[in-house]
Amino acid sequence: MVTSNLFSLDDFPIGCMVTDYKRRILYSNRYLEQYHGYSTRDLLGADLFILLSKASQIMYDTYIVPILVREKQCDEIRLSMVTRSTSTLPIVVNVLCDDSANERIFWSVSSSSRSDQLFQELTETKKLLEQKVSLLRTLSDTDQLTGLPNRAALTKHLDQKIIDLQKNDMAFALAFVDLDGFKEVNDLYGHHMGDRILQLVAKRLATNLRSDDLIARFGGDEFVIFLNGRFSAGLVEESLSRLINKLSEPFDIDSVLLKLSASIGVTLYPQSKEVEPDQLIRQADQAMYQAKLSGKNQICLFNVGNEQVQKGKQSELNAIRAAMGANQFELYFQPKINMLTGRVIGAEALIRWNHPSDGLKEPATFLPVLNNTSTGVELGRWVITSALCQLQEWLQQGLDLHVSVNIDGYHLQHSQFLCDLSHILADFPGLPKQRLELEVLETSTIEDVSHVYSVLNACRMMGIRISLDDFGTGYSSLSHLRDLSVDTLKIDRSFVQNMLSSAGDLAILKGVIGFAGAFECDLVAEGVETLQHSQQLIELGCECGQGYFIARPMPAHAFKPWVEEWHQHAFKKQFKRHR
């Protein structure tokens, strides 16, 4: 019976393999011999890693194993197999963990090209089905010009959603969009050009919103957007600001460049009092009208509470501008060290506000209000200039280190960023530019990724170092690492702080360290809070760190005395290494 089963496995058009938790290969069928050159005899008892590329080995340790421990299986994983002739072939694997005491892991291995072909066939089939469904739509619910749902479809959708959301305690936002300057284009170029613009606007709306949001043409140049989810005033404004920016980009129609903008009014649901769908639309329409009155090309929220938020935000911005004029901001510096040798390698510049009545304010208390504002850009210039002044002073005092500055996504996207940076650097002609490092938060909202990449690459061409901060906390980590030349990865403090108690965080941390080695990046761990954290990091291959166990952020005047004390006494006292 066993022989029969093994013979049937050899006839399979895919690779079949069994391994144990120590990565030893217990069985493989003839597929691997026929297509990859490994005989079943050679593989028996061998280490699984002889079949996998270095990157795939890292993927196995940091991704596949944790999933198997948690879910017992993982599907459609793309890896690279090293053949007997040392060439590399893309493969797709499915892995299943045996629940029995034998603790066996079952593998299916297939060609990536065949998997891609099947995926393409499924995709084409899906497209055909979607086209069939589209043909079955009722014409009365579809706007014939744009193909979007019309006013009648929107009303039905709202009716149903309010019923559903009342049952499930969910929420949504309703946005009323009106184009600025559309009548002038219609009058100047004719209705045919106006219709083309409406079609392109509909396309931009559809491609820049989530798939579960609804976009309807309400009439003329008016559109209504139904946004699923519970939104705060700030969150809905942030989401729709990106949409306004997209709609303000020029439209190229028959070699004619036309530039319009949009005014958007928003209302939120649920409200303190129950409202009907048509009342919600009127609220959003009224808010849109207020946006028109306020200068167009902007967002206005209907609810009264938001009016107070906007007033509060403007008041905070005015206070920050006044504080800049009064020189109330100051840079603190947190050391970065080599935990193995004790060498101080650099310092991270962190802004503080010496508030006349509130005392020393941390950045989290005032930086959020600066997002996407000219005041935020202006304060960013001040931070870079002040950091370079301090760096120059330290270098003249004989301190051998670099200084890093945090840069937000909106600052990098500003059209004058590179020009401003060049002017700032010109004021420090004798300063080695490689001593400045820009720490880019990977969780920053970056709309134009390609533009930001070109800006950062231009900075590297100047000699400035680029650090990817909070690495591992966002979905875009690996794409940033693949597409952007980075000098340093900073491991997010959340993984460091929990690595002593969380096997998952420890596995992620190992993966980040592996990626840093694979991409030849320097590595710095944030959040080093205890001696145990530092010892574990060193054992894993990460020697550089910063955190409260080493030193808290300190004023610039305290930094040099701290370095001297650190080298003379503190390092040996804090990092007791048992050999």
Dist. CA 345–CA 434, nearest whole Å? 13
State both tokens at 127. Answer: 């497209």
536 Ramachandran zone, left/alpha/beta (phi>0; psi -120 to 50): alpha
State both tokens at 327. Answer: 């020189």
Q: Which long-range contacts (CB under 8 A, 24 or more apart) does 340-344 make?
A: 340/538, 340/543, 341/543, 342/566, 342/567, 342/571, 342/572, 342/575, 344/399, 344/401, 344/563, 344/566, 344/567
Q: Which domains does the chain have, with CATH numbers?
A: 2-115 (3.30.450.20), 140-302 (3.30.70.270), 328-562 (3.20.20.450)
Dist. CA 471–CA 465, nearest whole Å? 16
Beta-sheet strand order (sheet of 222-228) = 214-219, 222-228, 172-180, 261-269, 299-301
Dist. CA 508–CA 136, nearest whole Å? 48
What's the confidence (pLDDT) of residue 1? 39
The residue type at 198: L
Which is nearest to 177 in space by CA: 88, 309, 297, 35?
297
Residues present in the chain in total: 579
Give the helix ranges, DSSP H, for 169-251. 182-189, 191-207, 233-247
Dist. CA 194–CA 134, nearest whole Å? 25
The answer to whether 545 touches 509, Cβ cutoff 8 Å, is: no
Dist. CA 558–CA 543, nearest whole Å? 25
State both tokens at 441. Answer: 């938060």
DSSP letters for 352-413:
EEEETTTEEE-GGGTSGGGTTSHHHHHHHHHHHHHHHHHHHHHHHTT---EEEEEE-HHHHH
Dist. CA 264–CA 241, nearest whole Å? 9
State both tokens at 270. Answer: 């649920």
The residue type at 11: D
SS3 string, 123-134, reads HHHHHHHHHHHH
The answer to whether 316 touches 323, Cβ cutoff 8 Å, is: no
Per-residue b or e along 311-341, where b marks 16 or more CB atoms closer than 10 Å to that residue's CB: eebeebbeebeebeeeebbebbbbbbbebee
Dist. CA 512–CA 521, nearest whole Å? 11
Which is nearest to 575 in space by CA: 343, 402, 401?
343
H/E run at residue 332: strand 329-338
Rounded (5°) CA angle 40-43-48: 140
Three-state secondary-structure class, residue 440: strand
> DSSP letter at 21?
T
Q: Which residues contact 372 (CB under 8 A, 6 or more apart)?
A: 238, 241, 410
Q: Tokens 């290969």 label which residue?
A: 25
SS3 string, 521-549, reads CEEEECCCCCHHHHHHHHHHCCCEECCCC
Strand partners, 268: 173
The pLDDT tens digits along the chain (579 residues) read 344 444 567 778 788 899 998 899 999 988 888 877 888 888 899 999 999 999 999 999 999 999 988 888 998 898 988 888 888 888 889 999 887 665 789 998 887 776 566 666 677 767 776 666 555 555 678 888 998 999 888 988 888 888 887 777 778 899 999 999 898 888 888 888 999 999 999 999 988 888 888 999 998 999 999 988 888 878 888 889 889 999 999 998 888 889 999 999 999 888 877 788 888 898 898 889 888 877 789 999 886 555 455 557 778 888 999 999 999 999 999 999 999 999 999 999 999 999 999 999 999 889 888 887 788 889 999 999 999 999 999 999 999 999 999 998 878 888 789 989 999 999 999 999 999 999 987 544 555 677 788 888 899 999 999 998 866 555 445 555 566 678 898 888 888 888 888 888 888 888 888 888 887 889 999 999 999 999 999 999 999 999 999 999 999 999 999 999 999 988 988 886 543
CB atoms within 10 A of CB 194: 21
Strand partners, 469: 441
What's the confidence (pLDDT) of residue 475? 41
Q: Which residues contact 521 (CB under 8 A, 6 or more apart)?
A: 481, 486, 487, 488, 489, 515
Q: Is the peptide bond before 555 cis (omega within 30 degrees of 0)?
A: no
> DSSP letter at 579?
-
Residue 27 backbone phi and psi in degrees, to 5: -160, 145
State both tokens at 381. Answer: 């210039």
